């Protein structure tokens, strides 16, 4: 059985181009024309590949790397071995990410799984849908009446775009994703299995039964948003659900109706955000955070993983715990409980 390479590096990158892209100077004696064939971890990089290092725990690995060049912060530059070129930068990881984007363009967003260059056989495009030139559609994809899709966008196999949905240019809609009642900007990535625009969970509760409340809003997704696999974003009940530009949403996230997410937020896997909550710009929610409905989390706030937020969070805060609170208070509570438990154990042992 053959052993395929799923994402091959793009050729033509030189050491000089790497240095220029990172804004660093090559050390004396380095050949700027030296070809760079790829990138790899410190321990496996070969003498034509790049690596990076920005964590002290990998200091010993850095000292033995065989990489052609390594992006490092000034702190770790002295530990780069003689056979490896040190490319010293204040933010090695960010510089490395930029280089990976040049080396592995194919990995930046999902592409056609059928090598489609247009509309594939087996795709179902309604006659009233409008697709600009350059849209690629894989087999099994469905595009409903009145939908509009911009050039450079890719629809994966069995993706569904509902009636009157608008999708901008250079987007990627992954295999099996479903978009209804949605307006989507440019350069948006929707990974496989995501569900966008379905009913929000709205019922008028009563002793005689629960009356369904029709959900008549939309989902608005602005430019440069990325939405992970199997994430769900409900359409609004009467207002719109909104995801602001540049926000990044991990896999398996639930965003309820009428939620407003600001610009450049980061939402990690397992998060659940209840209805009508607002996240201001640059908010970060760690994995498995739960947020009660009708709250506001202020600009730039960070919530630690597995926390439960049940009240408004002021801008610029760092909170954690259940219920969530400022991290200093949370840490003091945990320390106090640990001491009480230790003291109780000693008392039981002495008794």
How far, in Å, CA of 93 to CA of 95, rounded?
5
Q: Which residues are catalytic?
A: 257
Task: Give the pair of three-digit tokens for residue 19.
Answer: 């240095």
How far, in Å, CA of 261 to CA of 287, rounded?
16
**CB 120, CB 137: distance < 8 Å:** yes
User: How far lies 56's CA from each of 63, 162, 236, in Å?
Assistant: 12, 50, 46
Alpha-carbon dihedral angle through residues 259, 263, 267, 273, given to the nearest 10 degrees:
-10
Alpha-carbon dihedral angle through residues 107, 183, 313, 254, given to the nearest 10 degrees:
-70
Length of the chain: 351
Q: How many CB atoms lie within 10 A of CB 60?
A: 9
């Amino acid at each position: 059985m053959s052993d395929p390479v799923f994402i091959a590096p793009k050729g033509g990158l030189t050491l000089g181009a790497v240095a220029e892209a990172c804004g660093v100077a090559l050390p004396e004696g380095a050949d700027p024309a030296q070809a760079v064939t790829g990138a790899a971890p410190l321990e496996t990089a070969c003498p034509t590949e790049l690596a990076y290092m920005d964590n002290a725990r990998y200091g010993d690995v850095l000292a033995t790397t065989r990489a052609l060049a390594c992006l490092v912060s000034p702190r770790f530059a002295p530990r780069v071995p003689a056979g490896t070129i040190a490319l010293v930068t204040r933010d090695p990881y960010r510089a490395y990410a930029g280089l990976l984007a040049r080396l592995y363009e194919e990995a930046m967003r999902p592409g056609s799984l059928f090598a489609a260059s247009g509309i594939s056989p087996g795709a179902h495009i309604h006659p009233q849908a409008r697709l600009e030139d350059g849209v690629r559609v894989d087999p099994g994809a469905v595009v409903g009446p009145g939908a509009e899709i911009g050039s450079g966008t890719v629809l994966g196999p069995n993706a569904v775009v509902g009636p009157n949905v608008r999708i901008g240019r250079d987007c990627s809609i992954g295999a099996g994703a479903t978009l209804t009642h949605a307006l989507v900007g440019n350069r948006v990535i929707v990974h496989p299995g995501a569900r966008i625009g379905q009913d929000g969970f709205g019922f008028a509760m009563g002793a005689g039964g629960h009356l369904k409340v029709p959900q008549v809003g939309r989902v608005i997704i602005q430019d440069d948003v990325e939405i992970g696999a199997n994430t769900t974003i409900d359409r609004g009940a009467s207002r719109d659900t909104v995801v602001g530009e540049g926000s990044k949403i991990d896999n398996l996230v639930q965003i309820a109706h009428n939620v407003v997410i600001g610009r450049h937020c980061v939402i990690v896997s397992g998060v659940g955000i209840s209805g009508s909550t607002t996240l201001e710009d640059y908010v970060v929610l760690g994995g498995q955070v739960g947020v009660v409905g009708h709250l506001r989390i202020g600009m730039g706030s960070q919530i630690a993983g597995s926390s439960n937020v049940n009240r408004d969070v002021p801008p610029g805060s760092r909170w954690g715990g259940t219920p969530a609170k400022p991290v200093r208070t949370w840490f003091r509570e945990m320390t106090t409980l640990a001491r009480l438990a230790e003291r109780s154990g000693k008392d039981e042992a002495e008794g």
